[in-house]
Structure 1
Amino acid sequence: MEFRLLGPLEAWHAGEAVVLGGQRQRTVLAALLMRANSSANVGYLAEAVWEKPPVAPESNLRTYVAGLRRVFTAAGENRLVTRPGGYLITVEPGELDLETFRQLARTGDQAWRDSDFGSAAEHFERALSLWRGQPLAGLTPGPVLRAEIARLEDLRLTIAERYAHALVELGRPEAAVSDLRTLLAEHPLREELWAQLMVALHRAGRQAEALDAFADARRHLVTELGLEPGARLQRVQQEILAGEQPQDTEISAWRQLPMDIAEFTGRQAELRTLHALAEPASRTALTVAVIHGMPGVGKTRLAVHFAHQLVDAGRFDEIQLWTDLRGFDADRPPISPAAVLEHFLRLLGVPGQQIPQELESRAALYRSRLADKRALVLLDNAASEEQIRPLLPGTKGSLVLVTSRRNLAGLVGARGVPLDVLPETDAITLLSLIAGDDRVEAEPQAAARTTALCGRLPIALSLAARRLRKRPMWTVKDLATRLETAERRLDQLAPGTREMHALFTMSYQGLPQPQQRMFRLLGLHPGDDFTAESVAALAQCTPEEAEFHLEAMLDEHLVQQITPRRYRFHDLVRPYARDLAQANETGQPVHRLYTWYLYAAESARNVFDPHRGRTFDLHPLPEHSVVPQFAGHDEALAWYESERGTLRAVVKAAAEDGLPEVAWQLAWVLLSFYYRRSHWDDWIATFQIALDATRSLGERRGEGIIWLGLGVAYSDLRQFTTAIDCHQKAQAILEEVDDRRGQAWNLNNLGVVYVYLERLTAAADCFHRGLLLFRETGDRQGEGICLNNLGDTYRRLDRPSNAIGHLEQALSIQQDTGDQRGLQFTLGTLGDIHHDAGNHKQAVRSYEEALAVSQALGDQRTAARMLANLAQTLDADGESASARIRWQEAMTIFDELGDAQADTIRARLG
């Protein structure tokens, strides 16, 4: 299969165009192909596909990926692989025009740099011939993909400029003129294109036209930007007027890098990333790398060390500019870009009287002084994107390194290099290096404990090591003990206490009072991450206020953002926040959060399982709590998936922290989600906690309900003996408290276990008893599901007429009540009856109807079962190719769910 991105998106197989589906689905494919053979995470895909991504894009993306899998499967291809947190598409050499273009561009660029202009021109010409217009024309991509397209366009222009230069050097200037004029019609503000056109015309003996080209360039620049032509264009004009051949002049600049740090250690992965970004063969545009991370993580150390590595290797040895932008200085304000530009321009040889006063003019002069040069610019401690933008060179050969506590995501084209704490091995090495003796090596366990207590944060490790060096009589264990037992751990890092506290406290105290309080309360949040909605419940404010405060903390790197609208603490900041909360907060504010999660989960459950009622009152909701509402099945299920880890943590925390009633009720609410998505580990863990919670309260009815839920979980896991034991315990308790509706559901689910065990008479008895109770309590959903199960049991007993009678009753109830969840099962059972009778066409129709309902509900597990049943029927009807496609679709879903049925299908497919 061949893929084409350099124009409208196309895929070709065996000489024929492949239909790729709707625009969103094609945009997902384009985003995956932009990162072919590399994993593309959900965050990247969401920003590539949507202008404003949905709250939880995972479900939508899963649908588009499934559609693409069907496209590839129909073509006999297996391209898409699910990876943790995202997807990967495999492409072989020569199959993707973008990769071919990049390879030709790299090869041509290297030849161009080596002055092998013949080879360069050949490779550039082949590369440019692959373009069929604007990349991904016809799609409406999100900001990430638009940035990728802009970079590609810039790469194309760079190659076109160098192609023209190579043709001129080969004595073929006339060949360059036509292409350059065409490109300038589209990009009249690109000065290097004008410069190449002027050179080509001059070399062709067309001096008057070359000077006319300068006049045209000046008119465009002055009219549209208000700027005079840059130094490069002016120099070419002067050389043409003087009758000289245009050539470059050298710039001499100070070498401004600060000294390297002798105790630098580790960071090999980050250094590899930075070296890859700075590699000439892969850089066709200005490279901007933003090293960002929490206070004290070593951003400046890494940037300086990397810069020295480049210079020592002979890279950027001509121009090295550095400044501390003071973005996070407690005593002084950040340096203005205008002041930095004045400093840089003086270093670049511009006399003071020639430096403009306006920021834009200074930036333009700065870019012109670095035109076609390879400069290394290190901008340390940046406060914002606005502080950085005027300081970026306009040339492709330069490298800009930025360090900041903020990720500066608004800096278009910049590549973020996040910096986390050190791995344990590197942390121990740093501790030993600074301590300066063999104590650290002699006590490896104490050293590992010490690094953990320092959070493996480089500045904390440095302070601890220096204290150890000043206390030669201490062992490493002594230091670890002091850190472990201290009421305030940072105080034990004296004499660096103020320095260590200042790293967090300066950012914390810089927040307004409401944000300071929210930061403290976040230390009590039981989840690994949190949203504005949950934080609003914790802090008793609106979600809009919570999001505003979280974004402010994100800017200060006090919290991190893992996916759109989800935040988390760094592991070292969390205990700092918790310490502040314990010292400053009173009462039980976290109880509001536990109860909010109970009501939020119930709100989502009511959307995708509205017919499953409850016969108990929820724990009261605190006043002014804003419970989220969900527009449909996809949104509700996506919320559950995104909050899954936190929901499990809330059940545990509520049980341990004085709200056992919330713990067991929340577990019960989660049953619908766990059943639909097969999250068995979470299911059993939360229900075991809930079981203990009901017993601590003496809540017998709740205990019976929880035993029922455990029975369903163990039944799904094919642990039937355990499942029967759970259902029998549930039945005894539910009869004891006279919960007749609970008994009906328990009997229904016990009957399902007996069906699995082929104990069909016992199963029928359970269903009959349950049916009577469902009718007695007026539970129409339960009645419909039980009728379906009874019909399936009669089918297995080879009594099809009895089976159909019960199924028709089930269909009538489900259609009357709109119970889509129950309808999918009944349609599936009807398909089974038709399949058994050899009525394959009717079976296919029933399975397809059931599949459509399951997909609309987002019920992946039932959808996979219907796909497997459909495949089996198609295979029996002689449609093996169609059957194989359905088998593969079912296998993909089972794989994502971690269901063992995937292996059964895989073995069948060979």
Structure 2
Amino acid sequence: MEFRILGPVEAAVEGRRLPISGRQERLLALLLAESGQVATLDRVIETLWDTEPPATAKQQVHTTVGKLRRVLADAGAAGLVVTVGTGYQLRAEDEQVDARWFDRLLAEADAEARAGRLGAAAGTLRSALRLWHGKALSGLSGTVLQSMAAALDERRLTAIERYADLLLTTGAAAELVGELRAWAIQHPLRERLRAQLMLALYRSGQQAEALTVFDHTRRLLADELGVDPGPELRRLHEQILRNSRELEIPGSGADTAPLPIQPPPNTVDEPAEEPVRPCSLPYDIGDFTGRDSELEGLLAMATDVAADATLVTTIDGMAGVGKTSLAIHAAHRLSHRYPDGQMFIDLRGHTIGHRPLDPATALDMLLRSVGVPAAQIPNGVDERAARWRSELAGKRTLILLDNADDVDQVRPLLPGAPGCMAIVTSRKRLVDLDGAGSLSLDVLSGAHASHLFGRITGPERVITEPDAVSEVVELCGRLPVALRIAAARLRHRPSWTVGYLVDRLRDSMRRLAELSTGDRSVAGIFTLSYQHLGESQRRMFRLLGLHPGADVDAHAAAALTGLRVAEAEALLEGLLDHHLLEQYTPGRYTFHDLLRQHARATAEAEESAEARRLAIHRLLDYYLLTATAAAEAINPHGSQAPPSVRYTPADPTPVRDYATAMTWLDTEQHNLRAVIDHAEAGGWAAHAWKLPFALWRFYELRSNLDDWLGIYQRALKTTKDLDDLVGQASIHNRIGIICRRRGKYSEALMHYRRSLTLYRELGDHFAVRRPLHNIAVIYQFLGQHSDAIDHFRQVLALDREFEDRHGEAVTCSNLGGSLAKLGRHAEALRELTHALSLVRDIDDRYREALIREDLGNVHEKLGHHTTAMEYHRRALRLHQDSGNRLGEASSLTNMGNVFRLTGEFGAALARHTRALEIARDFGGREVECVILNNIGAAHRSDGDFAEGLEWHRRALTMARDIGFRAEEAKALDGLAHALSISGDAAVAHTYWSSALEMYTAMGVPEAEDVRRAMDGLAVRRG
């Protein structure tokens, strides 16, 4: 996998560029430009929407990240984009990202130049510059990306100038002239490039040309900026005029002065480079409290050590007791004693998800930090340790080795020279480290603990409730991590008093559910907190690690553990207070990523395979039951797959009505996706297809077609593996609807017909209606309204046979739509009015909105504009209430049409534009195609025929792409109208001929309108 941002943004595998565009491309650009860093959610939103982000920005970010991950995974690069907290990070090697490889080559060139290998340095820079293929992030706009692009382009220019310096220094001026001319043309106001070009021309015997470059530059600067050339350029001009010996190549034998163009470091004309004095200590926390005696002891050790000795001291103690904080604070206090550098390195001895740094890697990092070029770092541990000690010889340097694993890891990293100091922190006692002083850290004193508590909560709490604070301190065991948890809880709960917190902590049965009072063992911080939990909390902690999603609520946690919701919620609150869980939204609980791994590993170690399987089964059953309940709440008249579960929660699901169903689905949608994936991978086949089936209406309302299709294609495979004909028929029908939404009508028909065949084989005549009805809908989009009407009448007969009033309403609604297309408006109004009456009786507001849209369109055709507008406005409100965003777009564009017909063109275009934004955001290509034609018609009606032509052309392209024949004919008709007025009558006639042929085949009344328009055109041309 290769990533490129030094030019257009690209991701490629073996030369094949991946299909990444739109928001995915902008997201990838951000992650690559900030490679290795975490892009926060706010940063991502700012990048994707340079102006005001939409209300759904967070949801759309998650969708965009998911799409990018799928593209990469399909190319064999899964796992590169990871979630870190609420942000995202791209984890790729330097060799995979051209910008990072560019930086590495620059560093190698610098090292080669310092070593005096100027030719090699120039070659390395040339290789670095060949990585560029245009301006950085070219083709992308926006403040964030443009700022990043500018920074990258500046690094390129700096590298170009460095490269030119090297060639000028090594006597390669003649071969440089052509490149410098090209660069100077691209960056005409870059004086340093102009100066280098002048010097290259002069050294290659073209003095007059060099002077011409100066004159041109002087005029350019005056014209563009109103300034004169800078002092460097003016001095070089004077030197060229008098053939100054200062311009000769360094080392050529002449008595030369310093060049006006900076030569590479460590050339014969430059003094020795200043030694590297690294300082990589982390910042000293502002609320560091206590540890007076311990700090005094460390400082005393540093003072008392003999000048010819190396000081090594270790700090050990329980996790969470503050070892690293003390070490950093002491290092800052001691830094003035070690002027040659203060270094920090995390040895990852107890870092979940990482193996401890091996000594060879740690030495490599330390040697680089003191300026040793990569090429000069030896291979073996012993050789690197020797080089490390050599680099520190004669220097006074402080090294903080944090989070050490054992003595073998630390020993090679210790300085051997006198005058240096090493501070080592570890969760183990490093008793085998000969000659080292040691400090075992205990909990805080009572006074210091109270002070820390007060600094976090605010001093007024300590002043007003001193006794309660003292009791909290003791209840927390004076352990810094426990104090910080308690104080942070109090600070973020302004209605609480310290006394109320004391009351919660006094109950010994609840204390561990509130916070940890500390443990004196040397176990890791997660294990420490885990050991201080009650057995129920430990089991909750373990089983939460099995959850495949990002977060949980009390209901999901209750399912995992088989508890009541109230019990589960109490346990979750306890884990939250221990910082074993985090909470970004009330009622939602999430792990830090590393804690999730710890919990999962603990579950695997302490829970039997059967217990883990039962927990997952309960969780999947809970999600299936709740998703089914949500589906029934948002679509009470739809058919749902029977839950068929073994586990029934003791408490009601969190779904009570439409509002709570949509809230639950919106909140849980990412978890549901993860649960479906987990069910597929773990062999829970029934859940793997029934969950997507239950989520149908939600996906339909949210219209995330890409995710939608992938889920149902996998569900279809699952039903085939199970040889479940009912499941296959159901999923084929669903996939057909998705294909229809994507404009893939032939694929949709294939799936509908397969569903129809399966239902007939099963003898399920009630279910036969669904694919039969959907086939009729396809005929509508293909403009075959007579065929559509025939199929709808077959379905209507079945609806009435089974006395399905909801099905009858839906069928009458669509039947009315086709009748209206054929100009049979009276029949259409009859069917639609009947359908509206039925859906209002059964309170189906989703379908009511669609029927009101159709009624509005019929009244618009009849010229009843006020009535039409009222239907559309009511439909819009219903769509908005139900969260049907594509329905909202449809109603908006219908309103725009009415405004156009009444001459309110500004209002019309405003509605169409907003509708287009929604359609594009939610992947509704059919709706988008309709809107494009409507925008074209609005522009034509307002007299802007050129703009109308452009929008109709876009509609025509899309209609042909998705096979939407009705809109294709409409686009041809619109193009012909615009061209007939703008003067291109011959082309207009051609377009109208094509439109007439299509309208006639559809049997729609628009054919007569086209004939009259063509007759009028013939008269005008005659």
Q: Scaled by the length of structure 2, what TM-score is found? A: 0.44
Q: Which has the larger radius of gyration?
A: 2
Task: State the TM-score, normalizing by the size of structure 1.
Answer: 0.49
Which has the bigger relative contact order, CA under 8 A and spacing at least 6? 1
